[in-house]
Amino acid sequence: MTEPRIVFFDIDGTLYTEEMTLPTSAKEAIRELQEKGIHTAIATGRAPFMFETLRKELNIDTFVSFNGSYVVVDGKVIRKKPLDTNTIVSLQKTAEARKHPMVFLDHEKAAADIGDHGHIAESLGFLKVPYPPVSKDFYKEHDIYQALLFCEAEEENNYVDQFDTLHFIRWHPRSLDILPAGGSKAEGLRAVTDYLGYSMNETAAFGDALNDIEMLEEAGIGIAMGNAFQEVKQAADLVTSSVHENGVRTGLERIGLL
């Protein structure tokens, strides 16, 4: 097994507990990795503005955000892959006709196309993110790296079948991430390793959710949290303990980095 030179960490359910707290053991483990000269990075579906405080707390300035659509290495943007505006227009019209609200995000802020909708409030509330301001033309004025579509699972295929240039990733019972086709955390990892001159065999990655599966499969060592979905555990090389039970430190110890 090649020893990792860089380790990627998902946020929700991996670094953060359900209460959106960072276990002390995870923070100390990441500091120890950095002291050993191992590159540390975040890989998340969140927008950069949603985890700026965490980055500063962990002294991490390399990250894969928007599930791979916006990638930064050592503070430098190395990959930007916004959604096509014409496709967003068509998607938003379709969603509006089906009474499915949407949220649009660039790297600095977000906007909803409707105010005070329960599905938006419930889903973003899960992330402890406030309800975005309403701006129906936001996507016409900004590069949109990710959109959120709020619908039930049984309605999802209607969009998947209609928009084959988009990639839909469900992250909440009422919400989907929407990315350019081919977008994934794994693509983001490859962008980082190519830039740094590492191979994918020299990476390790921690995750727990469905949007982590491709990343865990393609990283040199994929580590699923003990609280991960079963499908995620099956995709990983090993399963550590849960986020509440020092899962990050335990995983790093199991692969010999600590």
Strands 166-172 and 175-180, by their bridges, are antiparallel
CA gap 204, 211 in Å, rounded: 16
CA gap 191, 212 in Å, rounded: 16
Residues 97 and 91: beta-carbon distance below 8 Å: no
Residue with tokens 């790297």: 107
- Helix, strand and coil content of the chain, in percent to the nearest 5, comes to 40, 25, 40
Task: Let me know if 12 is a catalytic residue.
Answer: no
Running DSSP on this structure, what letter comes out for residue 67? Answer: G
Catalytic site residue from 10, 12, 106, 208: 10
Active site (catalytic) residues: 10
